[in-house]
């Protein structure tokens, strides 16, 4: 008998919680996480998200996503471009491109192991 009562209370509590969630405004933490996700989706690195969000909130715009978009348009250095990441390599070596001179030890190794190139 008590088990049925516990289940009924749990179902009622869950229904009340669902109704409360529908009517409540998102918390500041939820808004911050939504803004951070929006920044990341727009190509902002995670370390720059907080700065972009702070700049957007300082603009005083009621639409937070529009404010973030405006900040990214005004200050494009928050989003790195493809040329900014020129130090990233794939590890693929293309034939015909000259590389640094090979030392004597490396030359002897490659002569003994021709399949290593």
**Averaged pLDDT score across all residues of the chain:** 78
User: What is the C-alpha separation between 53 and 13, in angstroms, rounded?
Assistant: 36
Percent of the chain predicted with pLDDT > 70: 63
DSSP-assigned letter for residue 115: G
d(CA 42, CA 68): 10
> Is the model's pLDDT at 1 over the cut of 60?
no
Nearest-angstrom CA–CA distance, 63 and 78 = 20
Query: Could you tell me if residue 60 is inside a domain?
Result: yes
Indicate whether 92 belongs to any domain.
no
Residue 97 has pLDDT above 70, yes or no: no
Whether residue 81 has pLDDT greater than 80: no
Is 19 inside any structural domain?
no
pLDDT in tens, 15-63: 665 555 566 788 989 999 999 999 999 989 999 999 999 999 998 888 9
Q: Residue 114 domain-assigned? A: no
Domain assignment present for 64? yes
d(CA 83, CA 64): 29
- Report if residue 66 sits inside a domain: yes
* Range(s) of the domain holding residue 42: 25-81
Number of domains in the chain: 1
- Is residue 90 helix, strand or coil? coil
């Amino acid at each position: 008998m008590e088990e049925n009562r516990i289940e009924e209370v749990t179902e009622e509590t869950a229904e009340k919680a669902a109704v409360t969630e529908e009517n409540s405004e998102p918390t500041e933490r939820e808004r911050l996480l939504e803004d951070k996700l929006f920044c990341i989706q727009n190509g902002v690195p995670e370390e720059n998200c907080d700065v972009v969000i702070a700049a957007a909130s300082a603009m005083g715009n009621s639409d937070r996503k529009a404010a973030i978009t405006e900040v990214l348009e005004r200050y494009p250095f928050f989003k790195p471009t493809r040329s900014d990441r020129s130090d990233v390599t794939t590890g693929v070596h293309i034939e015909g491109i000259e590389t640094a001179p090979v030392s004597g030890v490396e030359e002897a190794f490659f002569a003994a192991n021709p399949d290593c190139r």
